[in-house]
Structure 1
Amino acid sequence: MHCLWCDAEIIKEVNWNNLFKLPEDEVICQGCKEQMVLIQGPTCPQCSREMDSEDICEDCVRWGGAGLDWNVSLYKYNDFLKEVVAKWKYRGDYVLVDLFMEDFKKRFETLRVSEETILVPVPLSDERMVERGFNQSEALANALPLQRGNLLSRIHSEKQSKKSRRDRMTTENPFSLNASISKPVLLIDDIYTTGRTLQHAAHLLKEAGASTVFSYTLIRG
């Protein structure tokens, strides 16, 4: 096997723990994996922002519990992941999602999510879907063992990555509801930056009857 990112050959170490097991396909070399830095805290308990303490951060105080109950993110947004995400998300290299899958599934298993929770990948607009060819949030959600719900649609707008922090914080809600919901909802997205997109989605879902709305995101910007 070769690393999906740098194409280096992956030589699996043989030890007493795996000597009698069937070999598992490795998709990332050790050097690249070490650059995908997991968030380990202390963090804001509501949004996973790294902090010096576990107090609620200023942004979450400002939200005031309006929509999203909590967010858990997996990785720090460092230069390595910026480059990986750019190729995966904006240049359409879908297979790169496999770089994240092992860590993404392991972290999910630690979340306190009930089996009745509905999984909702944050949708793209129709125009953005045509442009990219796939929804990165759906690619992540496909790895998780929860029922999916098509509860939201998205209005086409300027890319979030093109907006300043101020513009993101003042943007209007881009989502519309497809159905009412009374169960808990877990939103899936790739990057949590200001939280505005997820707060918009959560606010609508709460209005529609969702008992709680959480999010699980790949990266905390």
Structure 2
Amino acid sequence: MSALFSWLTKVQALLSPSITPCLTCGKRNLGSSEFPGVCRNCIESIPWIRSPRCLKCGRHVGCPDCTRSSEPSPIICNRSAVAYTSVMREWLGQYKYRGNERYAPLLGLMLDRAYLTLKKEKQSALLSRKSSIIHRSWSADLLVPVPVSDSRLMERGFNQAERLADVLSRCRKIPQLPLLIRTHHTGKQSFKSRAERLADMKHAFAENPAVTTQFADWFNREVPLNRPVRIIIVDDIYTTGSTIRACAEIIQQVGSDYGYAVEVYSLTWARS
């Protein structure tokens, strides 16, 4: 009888899905089918931004930055997946500063939710207009990751924005192109004031000469002729928006150089 019980236990173990430790909390809870490697409890605790309070920058709480600025913005809007809480800071820290690459798919899939939020909003806006059916479908044309400096790339070994864009590119079949380069190292922005960040980002980016021909070929081959080109800048965190705006200004100029109207959006994993 004991031998039969032992055999049945082994069969049950083989047939039942294994519960591995959760990537984020380390506990052996039931896993999430949408976010492999993370338990359901951790997924349920994510501070998703489902209804942005500021429709410009995507902030989930009151936003003084967008209301006090009288300057026109080079981006249509930003959307972020989550609020940058202490837990989210730890998740990003595990990946960005400690090199735990198992977080890359998780953060990328979370960013995909921000893209779906943006897509739903723009799709609804198109449907509300009296336009032809062919103009009522919205999707991005190109993803452009925010570049890091050479010294930062050597320090970390990867560009976190590029990795996030990789996941989104595969999920949504949107091409990615490193259109921008960083012209100088600006240091860690997390320790700087808003004014210092804005000053730092002036002239911090430029068009990447290594992909100029590739970008021109893409324009000539893929760009729709009946509407502006939709380009999304991808980064990990939106704080003051100075980085995004600086990148968007270069992209707008590049589009103008090629004679195309460009709509620039941004997606960030977190909004502080």
TM-score if structure 2 supplies the norm length?
0.69
Aligned to 1:125: 149
> 1:119 is paired with a residue of what secondary structure?
strand
- Tell me which protein shows more helix as a share of its residues: 2
Q: Give 1:195 deviation, angstroms.
A: 0.2
Distance change in 2, residues 1:141/1:157 (3 Å):
same
> 1:186 is paired with a residue of what secondary structure?
strand
Listed one character per residue, the Cα deviations across residues 102-125 of structure 1 (whole Å, up to 9, x for unaligned) are 433244234337556111011111
Listed one character per residue, the Cα deviations across residues 150-189 of structure 1 (whole Å, up to 9, x for unaligned) are 2100122212123222311222231011247763210000
Aligned to 2:99: 92
Alignment partner of 2:160 out of 123, 136, 161: 136
1:11 and 2:35 are equivalent in the alignment: no
CA distance in 1, matches of 2:177, 2:31: 39
Residue 55 of structure 2 aligns with an amino acid whose one-letter code is P
Aligned to 1:212: 263
Q: How many residues are treated as equivalent by the alignment?
A: 208
Alignment partner of 1:164 out of 189, 193, 199: 193
Aligned to 1:147: 175
Matches within 5 A, 1:159-198: 159-171=188-200, 172-178=202-208, 179=212, 183-198=229-244
Segment drifting more, 177-186 vs 92-101: 177-186
> 2:54 is paired with a residue of what secondary structure?
coil
Alignment partner of 2:48 out of 14, 38, 52: 38
Long gaps (5+) in structure 2: 1-19, 123-137, 220-228, 256-260
TM-score if structure 1 supplies the norm length?
0.83
Distance change in 2, residues 1:109/1:40 (3 Å):
closer
Q: Give 1:213 deviation, angstroms.
A: 0.7
Q: Given that residues 74 and 217 in structure 1 are in contact (C-alpha distance below 8 angstroms), is that contact kept between their aligned partners in structure 2?
A: yes
CA distance in 1, matches of 2:24, 2:155: 23
Q: Given that residues 109 and 167 in structure 2 are in contact (C-alpha distance below 8 angstroms), is that contact kept between their aligned partners in structure 1?
A: no
Listed one character per residue, the Cα deviations across residues 120-152 of structure 1 (whole Å, up to 9, x for unaligned) are 011111111110111111111111221112210
Q: Given that residues 57 and 78 in structure 2 are in contact (C-alpha distance below 8 angstroms), is that contact kept between their aligned partners in structure 1?
A: yes
CA distance in 2, matches of 1:58, 1:107: 22
Residue 78 of structure 1 aligns with an amino acid whose one-letter code is T
Q: CA RMSD in A?
A: 2.4
Q: Given that residues 143 and 176 in structure 2 are in contact (C-alpha distance below 8 angstroms), is that contact kept between their aligned partners in structure 1?
A: yes
Distance change in 2, residues 1:66/1:105 (3 Å):
closer
Q: Give 1:63 deviation, angstroms.
A: 5.8
